[in-house]
Structure 1
Amino acid sequence: MPDRSTARAGQAPAVAGPGDLRNVVLIGCAGVGKTTLAESLAHAAGAVGRPGKVADGTTVSDHEPIEHQQQRSVQLSVLPLEWRGTKINLIDPPGHPDFAADLRAALHAADAAVFVVSATDPVTAPTRALWRECAAENIPRAIAVAKLDIARGSLDDILTACHDAFGLGPDTLRPLFLPVHHDGRPDGSVDLLTGHTYGQADPLPDTAPARESLVEAIAGQDDTLMEQYLTGDTPDTDSLEAGMRREVLACALHPAVPTSEHGLGATELLDLITTTFPTPAERTRPAPDCDPDGPLAAQVVRVTGDAYVGRVSLLRLYAGTLRPDTRIRLTGPGHPADQDAEERVTGLTSPFGKLQRPVPHAVAGDLVCAAKLTTARAGDTVQEPGHSAELDTWTLPEPLLPVAVEAHSKADDDKLSQALSRLAAEDPALRLEQNPDTHQLVLWCTGEAHAEAVLERLRNRHGVHVDTVEHKVALRETFGTAAAGHGRLVKQSGGHGQYAICDLEVEPLPAGSGFEFQEHVVGGAVPKHFIPSVEKGVRAQLAKGVATGHPLVDIRVTLTDGKAHSVDSSDSAFQNAAALALRDAAEHAVIRLLEPVAAVGVLLPDDYLGAVLGDLSARRGRVLGTETGGPGLILLRAEVPELELARYAVDLRSLTHGTAEFTRAHLRHEPMPAALAARFTDRDG
């Protein structure tokens, strides 16, 4: 058995260069045992005294109180481990789909992935969706089969199910280790290539068939190895290991490792990572050549808030060496080209879960944290002043769940704006909106779990309490029929009075026309200099509405007649008279309530098309058509009233078991059904 690493808890592994690094992301759905596996790896590498615990007894993956309450991760975690002279940056993003922004950041920062599947249910729909996302990034992958000690099926059955579910080609998925069972429980394993044994591997099982299958998969892609294999001359172990590494880096082979909650597979997986996965210099990226002596080029992976040191930015270095007191330049979407954001790096730390351990420097390929970069945002490029190395960023999930909030008290209101600004800077998946129509403060989140995490951070980190309220959509009013209105303002209270009379004709316009104002006054009944006052008064009433308090749109208003007084008429008087005339016209017309309609695109597996179509129909949606969205995927396009989309992000995920995603964009306003409009009219009235 290989020797255990000599790393000790509390110390950051030393790195000589990019060749000594492996950046690995753990990918898996919530509940598969991904974080448990990360803690087992940390224990096996000697980074913690017992699985998941550091010197002070806290859990390495703990970040926030909500993670204890909900028993799930809500934030990306990094565990640097040292194994056989190699530093492994183990990146553990949340498995819940609400935190896909962290997953995509992790995929961008990593050079390889360990895809964690549960032996009890390895081929769930979210698992297939995650595999497609990893495959799209062309990341070398291995599979860790978790919970093997509580599954009834054999490893072969589980891998066959994975092979079919992921749509893999022949010889693409092969076990690298075979588990050894004692009393029905896997307590050890055998390396099929080297013959090394791990744990309690006595007596040894018959490994010949599995080894032959693995050798065939490796040799089949290499002419020299295949020639040796066909002539009966079995390739030596070093050649097979080198061949397997080539296939893994080319994403042509995915080795599988059996694991359990009792530590099986941890040592095996560490060996696989160090010997088979790529170094940072071996991954093709739109970035510099991973030269530690070159100009600095790095990217902000994540920004978090710390109660003691403030903002902490996790950086992935692609070139150069970063040291404290270095001047850096930040560029990205949040930094205008003509306003370079230059800052000074004060101190560097190596993250270990929620802990930070000081380091003297960081080299190309490594992950490191820098504190107090006040303008840093996730996805920003970090470079030396005077050098240009713009790095591509990752696609963020669009936040589509609206959560309307109000400050719980005056004291909370005073702190709310600043607290939300800080949260938005740290969380790229959170969008803030101060809706000008409904006057609501809306937090746009990716789902309920994301919303809960945001509200918890407001309370516990910033001491701000808010109340959630019903989210309102921006309705409109319009005239359904033409009408005339008369506005008369005659007041005398000593001195100058108020006198203005307006006669208006109002007629509806086609949807989207907006507002038109005309005047057909004959004989100067309304002096020319008061006509702009009439239009101003009409526009002011448009903003207030005439029936339900929603803005009035798509009408033409014509001033036809009126009267003025040489002394008592004024700008203010004609504004008020015009508003009275418009309201009077509304009393003699049919007023229609308009609701916003969104253009919706749903990307989903074809298995769920029927269910999604039925759900959209129940939401008053109009399906425009479908088209191919990729292998096994359908892109459905529809128009749906925005009133029906408030919880669609949650409901669609439930309906498709987390495999579908959608986009929405405001299209237009159109008349609301009379029965529904009546309910709004009664409520607003």
Structure 2
Amino acid sequence: MGEKTNTHPGAAGRAAAADRPSSLRNVVLVGHSGSGKTTLVEALALATGAINRAGRVEDGGCLSDHDEIEHRQQRSVQLSLVPVEWGGMKINLLDTPGYADFVGELRAGLRAADAALFVVSAAQDAVGIAGATRMVWEECAAVGMPRAIVITHLEAARASFEEMTEICRRTFGGDDPDAVLPLYLPLRGEPAPDGHAPVTGLIGLLSQQVYDYSSGVRTETPPTDGQVPMVAEARDRLIEGIIAESEDETLMDRYLGGEEIDVKTLIDDLEKAVARGSFHPVLAAAPAAGGSRQGLGTTELLELITRGFPTPLEREAPAVTTPQGGACPALTCDPDGPLAAEVVKTSSDPYVGRISLVRVFSGTLRPDETVHVSGHGLEDRGHEDHDVDERVGALSTPFGKQQRMLSQAIAGDLACVAKLTRAETGDTLSAKDRPLLMEPWQMPDPLLPVAIEAHSKADEDKLSLGLSRLVAEDPTMRLEQNPDTHQVVLWCLGEAHMDVALERLRARYGVQVDAVPYKVALRETFGSKAAGRGRHVKQSGGHGQYAICEIEVEPLPGGSGIEFVDKVVGGAVPRQFIPSVEKGVRAQAARGVSTGNPLVDVRITLLDGKAHSVDSSDAAFQTAGALALREAAADCWIELLEPVVKVGVLISDDYVGAVMSDLSGRRGRVVGTEQSGGGRTLIQAEVPEIEIGRYAVDLRSLSHGTGRFSRSYARHEPMPPQVAERVRDERAAAGT
């Protein structure tokens, strides 16, 4: 980092199977949408010789080939793997979507990686770092993942590397901003007619060498007399930052005593501090321009990855148990150890079928062997539990739309596995005679409901299979068959997530669906005591029907359900038909008496009735009981009960007032607040569910992407009359 002068990778860039974990680097790129992550990946692939200047791989296809949905969305919507080779090391670059709706893909990338590159745009982030990016930084910090920062879009007008670096120091540095410092400063050429001076090279703060990219190939030259003073202050600050993180406690005293610290010692300490996640270097990068072979900063970034980022041997593997929950020894990154791999992404190919992207944490995965598939099961999201054996298909590594075959995937590596028909994202692959189950990573909870219906009868026949495949690919999506509203509901992370899901149903599985208004599961109850008489008497030749019953209905406290009481005297209703009356009123209560929502929290008392010795029957008294309940409801005000949910909103202190005001406008009641550390507040509130259908979208807008919330059912309670009237009118207009 700053000392090497070789600008050639020494390899063709084609990343084959790794032969040892120490030659692997797994790096996830993180940043908001538009920060330049995908462009940076392509620049690194170009610098390593993996693609040519047209962006094409040697055996056809383009690295930037995305699926049809990504082209239509004009953004990345899924995790993608790009393996390259540099200096005899295989680097697995994991490009993640930057849009908040696809945070599930980001979390999968974090699980598969050993270090993270945070990509920040000097053009778009001039007022600060996106809130979602800050939250991911904190997640990485919590698990000690090594991180570095790459500033892009320096070619944009008014883009300032120095200003953006200072913003990164304040945002990511926390209590120790000197742990976030640049390793290089950009050098600008002659200003263009518009006054903007292009970045033509970098000057290494440790090596004090100039790396010139202006010719299209990186060259190294000594600095001019005028360039040395401009980096002196930044160099001193960097040296002090490195020494502060050094394991050599004498180094600071020696430096403060005036001793010139050897550059090799500084670089060694820098690499160690980066690898253990205590120092976060800032670099600059720009894509290759014109006929350039190397994009600015790509060599420096590759050196950081290969020399500063940890190998899989240095990262702790997830905890494992047996599928039954028994204890197991901790995993080590040993190709000869027990097989333990995890599916971090599932996708479908129209020609190959299901493809599973797998991170191998222990052992060696080989084609055509039988493995055990264990899954935690996410029944609430439509994912079944797994505990089966499956035969592994071909192993490959992706490159654009190409798949290059692999003979094996050792501990620490990533590979694509074909034809695992049962395995889903998050499942564990292990030896069939030694099954293991990995501790799951945190999945974001989908909180935006989308009710869907098949567009046609032909689509209806394919809908179930299409939905099952869809949720198998995406564990952040939850499928619900609502028993109260009888709607099929997809719970998504946001509107973009919803759009991609519906488009995948259409494009991949040939299922056209329509989004329809989501119905909240309301309830009905009696507003006051009422009486009803059910008379079911029919005589039309042959066996007749005769049943009469009189009931009284009175409201009960919330949560009481339906209570049936028999107060018949004198045998007016024969004993054998009293259960029939109860069955009839309960069936009618389930269907509702006013708006088609279930009736709850009432006591129904059977007072009197009449029967016929020949024509009375079980069916007749069921019908009479239902008629009596409907008549009682016709003479009484029926209250609508709406579900109220407990909501916990974790928000930056800057937005507490706005969020509380917004919750109040949704008829919410704030029941408490508490500090959560890191400048955040947890707001606890109770809000009618009908008011927060789009809260996942609205909170993101209100908090600039920094807010999170959780929800859980609390109870049903009476809906205000004006709101109830509006709901009645809406449902009447919809014919429901």
Question: Normalising to structure 1: TM-score of the pair?
Answer: 0.96
Amino acid corresponding to residue 561 of structure 1 in structure 2: D
Equivalent residue number for residue 241 of structure 1 = 267
Equivalent residue number for residue 117 of structure 1 = 120
Instruction: For 2:315 and 2:30, locate their aligned partners in 1 and report how far apart those are by CA, in whole Å.
Output: 18
Contact 2:374–2:386 under 8 Å retained in 1: no
Contact 1:107–1:137 under 8 Å retained in 2: no
Equivalent residue number for residue 238 of structure 2 = 214
Q: CA deviation at 1:633?
A: 0.8
Contact 2:61–2:400 under 8 Å retained in 1: no
In the alignment, structure 1 residue 128 sits paired with structure 2 residue 134: yes
Question: 2:508 is paired with a residue of what secondary structure?
Answer: helix
In the alignment, structure 1 residue 171 sits paired with structure 2 residue 204: no
**Closer, same or farther: CA 458–55 of 1 in aligned 2, 3 Å:** farther
**Closer, same or farther: CA 6–459 of 1 in aligned 2, 3 Å:** farther
Q: Deviations over 1:510-549 (max 9, x none)?
A: 0111010010011000000000000000011001111111
Amino acid corresponding to residue 269 of structure 1 in structure 2: L
In the alignment, structure 1 residue 141 sits paired with structure 2 residue 141: no
Amino acid corresponding to residue 306 of structure 2 in structure 1: T
Equivalent residue number for residue 624 of structure 1 = 671
Equivalent residue number for residue 562 of structure 1 = 609
In the alignment, structure 1 residue 20 sits paired with structure 2 residue 23: yes
In the alignment, structure 1 residue 421 sits paired with structure 2 residue 468: yes
Equivalent residue number for residue 302 of structure 2 = 270
Amino acid corresponding to residue 205 of structure 2 in structure 1: L
**Closer, same or farther: CA 415–645 of 1 in aligned 2, 3 Å:** same
Contact 1:603–1:662 under 8 Å retained in 2: yes
Contact 2:375–2:385 under 8 Å retained in 1: no
Instruction: For 1:382 and 1:549, locate their aligned partners in 2 and report how far apart those are by CA, in whole Å.
Output: 48
Amino acid corresponding to residue 176 of structure 2 in structure 1: G
Instruction: For 1:339 and 1:675, locate their aligned partners in 2 and report how far apart those are by CA, in whole Å.
Output: 49
Q: CA deviation at 1:374?
A: 1.1
Contact 1:301–1:316 under 8 Å retained in 2: yes
Instruction: For 2:527 and 2:76, locate their aligned partners in 1 and report how far apart those are by CA, in whole Å.
Output: 53
Equivalent in 203, 215, 222 of residue 190 of structure 1: 203
Instruction: For 2:61 and 2:200, locate their aligned partners in 1 and report how far apart those are by CA, in whole Å.
Output: 27
Greater alpha carbon shift after TM alignment, 589-598 vs 188-197? 188-197
Equivalent residue number for residue 38 of structure 2 = 35
Residue segments in structure 2 that go unaligned for 5+ positions in a row = 191-196, 215-219, 289-294, 319-329
Greater alpha carbon shift after TM alignment, 21-30 vs 152-161? 152-161
Equivalent residue number for residue 47 of structure 2 = 44
In the alignment, structure 1 residue 441 sits paired with structure 2 residue 510: no
Equivalent in 542, 567, 589 of residue 495 of structure 1: 542
Contact 1:318–1:365 under 8 Å retained in 2: yes
In the alignment, structure 1 residue 385 sits paired with structure 2 residue 409: no
Instruction: For 1:470 and 1:460, locate their aligned partners in 2 and report how far apart those are by CA, in whole Å.
Output: 23
1:291-370 to 2 correspondences below 5 Å: 291-334=334-377, 340-370=387-417
Q: CA deviation at 1:61?
A: 4.1
Amino acid corresponding to residue 285 of structure 2 in structure 1: T
**Closer, same or farther: CA 463–30 of 1 in aligned 2, 3 Å:** same
Instruction: For 1:187 and 1:285, locate their aligned partners in 2 and report how far apart those are by CA, in whole Å.
Output: 42
Greater alpha carbon shift after TM alignment, 99-108 vs 55-64? 55-64
Amino acid corresponding to residue 673 of structure 2 in structure 1: T
Q: CA RMSD in A?
A: 1.9
Instruction: For 2:55 and 2:671, locate their aligned partners in 1 and report how far apart those are by CA, in whole Å.
Output: 51
**Closer, same or farther: CA 335–405 of 1 in aligned 2, 3 Å:** closer
Amino acid corresponding to residue 22 of structure 1 in structure 2: R
Question: Normalising to structure 2: TM-score of the pair?
Answer: 0.90
Greater alpha carbon shift after TM alignment, 161-170 vs 321-330? 161-170
Greater alpha carbon shift after TM alignment, 445-454 vs 279-288? 279-288
Residue segments in structure 1 that go unaligned for 5+ positions in a row = none
Instruction: For 1:138 and 1:360, locate their aligned partners in 2 and report how far apart those are by CA, in whole Å.
Output: 33
In the alignment, structure 1 residue 543 sits paired with structure 2 residue 586: no
Equivalent residue number for residue 450 of structure 1 = 497
Q: Deviations over 1:101-146 (max 9, x none)?
A: 1111111111111111111214232332232222223210110011
Amino acid corresponding to residue 67 of structure 2 in structure 1: E
Contact 1:605–1:633 under 8 Å retained in 2: yes
Q: Deviations over 1:25-46 (max 9, x none)?
A: 1010111111111111111111
Q: CA deviation at 1:227?
A: 4.2
Contact 2:56–2:63 under 8 Å retained in 1: yes
Contact 2:11–2:88 under 8 Å retained in 1: no
Instruction: For 2:282 and 2:242, locate their aligned partners in 1 and report how far apart those are by CA, in whole Å.
Output: 14
Q: CA deviation at 1:339?
A: 6.8
Contact 2:148–2:282 under 8 Å retained in 1: yes
In the alignment, structure 1 residue 464 sits paired with structure 2 residue 511: yes
In the alignment, structure 1 residue 639 sits paired with structure 2 residue 639: no
Equivalent in 307, 314, 333 of residue 282 of structure 1: 314
Contact 1:77–1:354 under 8 Å retained in 2: no
Instruction: For 1:671 and 1:443, locate their aligned partners in 2 and report how far apart those are by CA, in whole Å.
Output: 27
Q: CA deviation at 1:611?
A: 1.0
Question: 2:178 is paired with a residue of what secondary structure?
Answer: coil
Greater alpha carbon shift after TM alignment, 592-601 vs 125-134? 125-134
Greater alpha carbon shift after TM alignment, 531-540 vs 390-399? 390-399
Amino acid corresponding to residue 505 of structure 1 in structure 2: E
**Closer, same or farther: CA 165–50 of 1 in aligned 2, 3 Å:** same
Q: CA deviation at 1:321?
A: 1.3
Instruction: For 1:107 and 1:223, locate their aligned partners in 2 and report how far apart those are by CA, in whole Å.
Output: 33
Q: CA deviation at 1:338?
A: 10
Q: CA deviation at 1:558?
A: 0.6
Instruction: For 2:441 and 2:473, locate their aligned partners in 1 and report how far apart those are by CA, in whole Å.
Output: 16
Equivalent residue number for residue 3 of structure 1 = 7
Instruction: For 1:53 and 1:611, locate their aligned partners in 2 and report how far apart those are by CA, in whole Å.
Output: 49
Greater alpha carbon shift after TM alignment, 126-135 vs 24-33? 126-135
Q: CA deviation at 1:240?
A: 1.5
**Closer, same or farther: CA 59–264 of 1 in aligned 2, 3 Å:** same
Contact 2:31–2:133 under 8 Å retained in 1: yes
Q: CA deviation at 1:58?
A: 4.9
Equivalent residue number for residue 71 of structure 2 = 68
In the alignment, structure 1 residue 589 sits paired with structure 2 residue 645: no
Question: 1:13 is paired with a residue of what secondary structure?
Answer: coil
Q: Deviations over 1:451-504 (max 9, x none)?
A: 011111111111111111111111111001001111111111112111000000
Amino acid corresponding to residue 259 of structure 1 in structure 2: A
Contact 2:565–2:604 under 8 Å retained in 1: yes
Q: Deviations over 1:595-625 (max 9, x none)?
A: 1111111111110111111111111111111
Greater alpha carbon shift after TM alignment, 125-134 vs 329-338? 329-338
Greater alpha carbon shift after TM alignment, 189-198 vs 332-341? 332-341
Q: CA deviation at 1:385?
A: 1.9
Q: Deviations over 1:555-614 (max 9, x none)?
A: 000100000000000001000111111111112211101111111111111101111111
**Closer, same or farther: CA 14–549 of 1 in aligned 2, 3 Å:** closer
**Closer, same or farther: CA 414–386 of 1 in aligned 2, 3 Å:** same
Q: Deviations over 1:163-209 (max 9, x none)?
A: 11232504211111121211211111122223454324766522333
Q: Deviations over 1:385-444 (max 9, x none)?
A: 222543222111111111111111111111111011001101111111111111111111
